């Protein structure tokens, strides 16, 4: 019999889980999630390496290509989708390869995760270049689809990052940068949508947010590259501009209107007394770095 991985091993403390009363059941499930944070903290050095290496590639025009299956793949899709409204990162610069295709986001596609050749084919279809970053995720670290994407990425010279919840798994060892989120056994044996998934969500959020900070999408701790695509975000853009520019909301709103609701441009216009075109040229000259455009960097 093969050795069980940590994520598949029954939790020794909860063998009678189905007999717990409801408060105890919820306590067991919630309390166990604390290990997710600890696992990400332990992986911080590897995550830092991944952030710096990825930011360098993306600054040269590369794409952040996510890949995964099941819960891991869905979390990867979620991270990719959120980069556009939060940081104005173009959707075509963050494609996500999900085993079974886009429909698998809502309905499991049986056997899709076992097709490594399909993973490689899906990546090849994107036409990867050495500036691209392939970030493959699987709780087990052995999912063929994710491994197929990772292997194809390495062969094509992309930066490969593999993240798994089991140490020594192929996804970690075969990637250029391997990240282990050691969350151990699940309260419900093998259900990696629990703390393994939570750790992946934390790690993905932290990784992509840090990359976007490195790519000058944040000024101080303000998200100055958001896309104001609805009323809530327009109000947020006004607040961010007023705070970063040190001006009244009415002045911030006027500058935003003139800049096409680009917070960075509006801040430059207010702080330096520039028109929209001059602000745009100044920002482009420093590759979108608002601090440098303001003469602070």
> What amino acid positions are annotated as catalytic residues?
82, 113
Question: 19 CB contacts (<8 Å, ≥6 apart)?
Answer: none
Question: Which of 143, 87, 103, 139 has its CA nearest to residue 119?
Answer: 143
DSSP one-letter string for 227-286: ---SHHHHHHHHHHHHHHHT--HHHHHHHHHHHTS-HHHHHHHHHH---HHHHHHHHHHT
C-alpha–C-alpha distance, residues 13 and 186, integer Å:
10
Beta strands in 28-168 (DSSP E): 64-68, 96-98, 133-137, 159-164
Tokens (6 digits) for 11: 């939790």
């Amino acid at each position: 019999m093969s050795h069980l991985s940590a994520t598949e091993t029954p939790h020794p403390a909860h063998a009678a889980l189905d007999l717990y009363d409801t408060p105890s059941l919820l306590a067991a499930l919630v309390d166990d999630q604390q290990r997710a944070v600890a696992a990400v903290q332990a992986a911080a050095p590897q995550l830092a390496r991944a952030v710096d290496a990825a930011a360098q590639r993306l600054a040269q025009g590369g794409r952040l290509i996510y890949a995964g299956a099941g819960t891991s793949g869905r979390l990867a899709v979620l991270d990719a989708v959120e980069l556009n409204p939060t940081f104005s990162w173009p959707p075509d610069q963050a494609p996500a390869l999900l085993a079974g295709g886009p429909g698998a986001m809502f309905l499991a596609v049986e056997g899709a995760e076992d097709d490594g050749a399909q993973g490689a084919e899906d990546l090849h279809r994107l036409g990867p270049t050495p500036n691209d970053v392939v970030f493959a995720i699987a709780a087990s670290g052995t999912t063929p689809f994710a491994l197929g994407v990772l292997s194809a990425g390495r062969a094509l010279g992309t930066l490969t990052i593999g993240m798994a919840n089991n140490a020594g798994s192929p996804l970690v060892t075969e990637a250029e940068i391997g990240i282990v989120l050691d969350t151990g056994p699940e309260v419900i044996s093998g259900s990696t949508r629990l703390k393994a998934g939570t750790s992946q969500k934390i790690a993905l959020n932290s990784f992509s947010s840090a990359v976007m900070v490195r790519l000058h999408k944040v000024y101080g701790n303000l998200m100055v590259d958001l896309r104001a695509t609805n009323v809530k975000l327009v109000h947020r853009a006004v607040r961010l501009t007023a705070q970063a520019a040190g001006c009244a909301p009415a002045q911030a709103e006027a500058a935003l209107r003139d800049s096409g609701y680009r917070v960075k441009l509006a801040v430059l216009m207010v702080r330096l007394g520039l028109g929209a075109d001059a602000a745009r040229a100044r920002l482009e000259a420093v590759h979108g770095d608002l601090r440098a455009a303001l003469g602070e960097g």
